[in-house]
Structure 1
Amino acid sequence: MTSEGGPTVVRHSELLTPQTADYLAFLDREKMVYLPYLMYFNRPNFRSTAINTDQFGFRMSHGPDGRASVGDHRLDGPVRLLVGGSGVLGYGATSDAATLPSRLWTKHAPSRPWLNFGAPYFNSTQELILFMLYRHLLPPVDEIVLFSGFNNLVMAQLNHLPLHGQGAFFFCNEYFEKMQELRKRYAKPVKGPRWRTGPKSTPEPVSPSQPTPATMIEAAVELTTRHLDSWLVMAGATNARVSFVLQPLASWVRQEPADQEKLLFDEFDRFSEYGTWEERYGLVGSRATGAAYAAALATACAGRGVPFVDMNSRLAAAVTAEDWLFVDRGHFTDDGNEIMAGLLAESLALS
């Protein structure tokens, strides 16, 4: 509950999605875990009603015969991996058993165990590095499903940073600020006289070009498929199949949210410290942008023989206006995960 200087106010999120409190504790920036190469990863050995992680930070998956993760309760294999950001992690699910990997393992594609390879904020670079860093802990893998796409598109807005051909990542502004402080610390004083033959010049400030949906889509697809090629090389060593699923976004799925979603979305915009959804993600949130992005990814995947699923169009065709799918515009309710697990298994012919 919150107080605004008067009567106690109960937020809709406290009533409709009380599990959010566990996720906010899990994502506490003060306690964020920083790792070499990855920048950051999930908090290890986190315990709560909604979310639990192993000794390395991987979330537990549940199946018919128990549970498993990359670092604890290891399996002999073969196993399947669901790879991605916070949607794969299961932000918003009421328990570990309600996440997308768990619903696949328990009900919709139970012939192999599914391991959760998800982390909030990750882009395709970090997804790939995570696999390379922890591959030695895995049993044989026969299926790798990349459930991703949104973070690469969002980060394509940061086209003014010195990225040297690499994609931006969440919180990278903080990284560059600290690196600039380090440069100043190691700056060496100039020895001897300094001669000038004219007035001191002041460099013109560089104004970043405003990205358009088209340029953002082009950049995101290029980065995504570059890393997809690396996944194919690594998966080829064990003949694992690699598939790509474009994760759904509420505004890409349907024009109007369900009643519960509207309450939660409006509340998010009202109380967010970082601005409204439109202010933060307006360039990427339209249905037109989502459709264009899906089409570009589908073409890129087809050229590589990679199965592709646009979960946005699949969800839109499978649900009604009353179905409550999202706890916020990018994360799913238990019912949303259940429906997606069924659609994903059907789309990729998983048993």
Structure 2
Amino acid sequence: MSIRTELAPYLTGYEEKFTSKGEIRWLPHLLYFHPQSYTSEVVNTDSVGFRYATDGDRSYSVADHGTADSVRLLAGSSTVFGIGASSDAWTLPSRLNVHDEREQTWLNFGGRSFNSTQELLLLTLYRHLLPKVDEIVLFSGFNNLSLARMPQVRNEDHGTFFQYNMYNEKFTAPSESKSGSSVFNLLRKKQESAAPAAPVPPSISEQIEYAAELTLRHLDAWKALASTWDAKITYILQPLSGWVRDKGSKEEELIFDELERLGGFAAMYGDILSKDVNIEYAARLEQGAKDLGINFVNFSPIMAESAEADQWLFIDRIHLTDNGHDFVARKILENI
């Protein structure tokens, strides 16, 4: 058993349906989304695939919000979805419902492994299921930055996406008749042998500029959609462990070390973990959000100011523990 699983055994509840190594539900337009009507002690989704958020003695979702006249949305990627939470009740939207004294329920509008294009598409495709939305908080930012270093971004109008290679292998593979022909195989081998050298990755400043431009372009569209409800909108640049503190809690360091031995986050994104990157990225996003008239919060310094040195907040470099979700939810409410 791994250290991570030993410390948080409920994480196995995500492996079959909610990781890139598990079963992926491919979809047109969105590329992929969570399984529909999935039930377990750890994760539950509605008829569309949105995760439930708890509020009091009831669970609510985008497709199952009862008679609610209005709601609030927490949107983003896997941190909003709640990878790392031991149950639906410990995700960020559920913890917001615990600590927010206002009447409207927070719904989980997160999509695992989504970039900002997919986050925006999720709203355009499923807004018809929503009642009036009073407030939208986008808790995001890392995925666009991490994907900005991928070579295929230069050929994409709206950013690349996770599972890119898997998608291409599955949906752009040659037909069996072609792949079985000797002529095709000879041509393919010739192409592979003549494959160009891997492109030089962009500098970190170029990655930041690309990610910020894409994020702000889509944030402008979020603003337009939010205006149809006259909804307040806030953009929060999500925290990374390395942006919050140089050394994590005892549990975090054990998990980080284990993940790195398996070929983890720092091996691929080590330069992104720098606090200087957080400062530069946040400054670019903050100015862009200001120009759009949208509230902006850089969350990592907020966590850094109030987190205890031995407080176990992260289950990996980006996702949170139950205590981390509760801690972050309280701080979100203090800063929106």
Report the TM-score when normalising by structure 1. 0.86
Distance 1:293 1:329 in 2: 18
The structure 2 residue matched to 1:231, chosen from 222, 225, 231, is 222
Deviation for aligned residue 1:259? 0.6
The structure 1 residue matched to 2:212, chosen from 221, 229, 232, is 221
- 1:195 counterpart residue number: none
Counterpart residue identity of residue 231, structure 1: W
Deviation for aligned residue 1:43? 1.4
Is the CA contact (8 Å cut-off) linking 2:139 and 2:238 kept in structure 1? Answer: yes
- 1:89 counterpart residue number: 81
Deviation for aligned residue 1:179? 5.7
Is the CA contact (8 Å cut-off) linking 1:26 and 1:46 kept in structure 2? Answer: no
Distance 2:176 2:158 in 1: 24
Report the TM-score when normalising by structure 2. 0.90
Q: Which moved more, 1:232-241 or 1:157-166?
A: 157-166
- 2:33 counterpart residue number: 41
Q: Is 1:20 aligned to residue 11 of structure 2?
A: yes
Distance 1:304 1:109 in 2: 29
Deviation for aligned residue 1:174? 2.9
The structure 1 residue matched to 2:122, chosen from 117, 127, 130, is 130
Q: Is 1:253 aligned to residue 241 of structure 2?
A: no
> Matched residue of 2:93: which SS?
helix
Counterpart residue identity of residue 318, structure 2: G
Is the CA contact (8 Å cut-off) linking 2:15 and 2:22 kept in structure 1? Answer: no
Q: CA RMSD in A?
A: 2.2
Distance 1:51 1:103 in 2: 15
- 2:190 counterpart residue number: none
Counterpart residue identity of residue 111, structure 1: E
- 1:329 counterpart residue number: 317
The structure 2 residue matched to 1:296, chosen from 284, 296, 303, is 284
Deviation for aligned residue 1:164? 3.5
The structure 2 residue matched to 1:55, chosen from 47, 50, 56, is 47
Q: Residue deviations 1:134-189, cap 9 Å, x none?
A: 11110110101100000000000113455342201001123344565359989xxx
- 2:258 counterpart residue number: 267
Q: Is 1:140 aligned to residue 140 of structure 2?
A: no
> Matched residue of 1:19: which SS?
helix
Deviation for aligned residue 1:76? 2.4
Deviation for aligned residue 1:267? 1.4
Is the CA contact (8 Å cut-off) linking 1:250 and 1:326 kept in structure 2? Answer: yes
Q: Residue deviations 1:92-111, cap 9 Å, x none?
A: 11111111101111223542
Is the CA contact (8 Å cut-off) linking 1:261 and 1:326 kept in structure 2? Answer: yes
Is the CA contact (8 Å cut-off) linking 1:324 and 1:333 kept in structure 2? Answer: yes
Deviation for aligned residue 1:289? 1.1
In structure 1, runs of 5+ residues without a counterpart are: 2-10, 187-201
> Matched residue of 1:31: which SS?
coil
Distance 2:59 2:18 in 1: 23
Distance 1:304 1:151 in 2: 21
Distance 2:170 2:43 in 1: 32
Deviation for aligned residue 1:250? 0.4
Counterpart residue identity of residue 94, structure 1: S
Distance 1:279 1:184 in 2: 37
Is the CA contact (8 Å cut-off) linking 1:105 and 1:111 kept in structure 2? Answer: no
Is the CA contact (8 Å cut-off) linking 1:54 and 1:69 kept in structure 2? Answer: yes
Q: Is 1:311 aligned to residue 303 of structure 2?
A: no
Q: Which moved more, 1:111-120 or 1:219-228?
A: 111-120
User: How many residues end up aligned between the 2 structures?
Assistant: 322
Distance 1:30 1:62 in 2: 26
- 2:23 counterpart residue number: 31
Distance 1:160 1:61 in 2: 35
Is the CA contact (8 Å cut-off) linking 1:243 and 1:308 kept in structure 2? Answer: yes
- 1:205 counterpart residue number: 196
- 1:105 counterpart residue number: 97
Distance 2:88 2:134 in 1: 23
In terms of fraction of residues, the more helix-rich structure is 2
Counterpart residue identity of residue 77, structure 1: D
1:161–1:74 CA distance, 2 compared to 1 (3 A): same
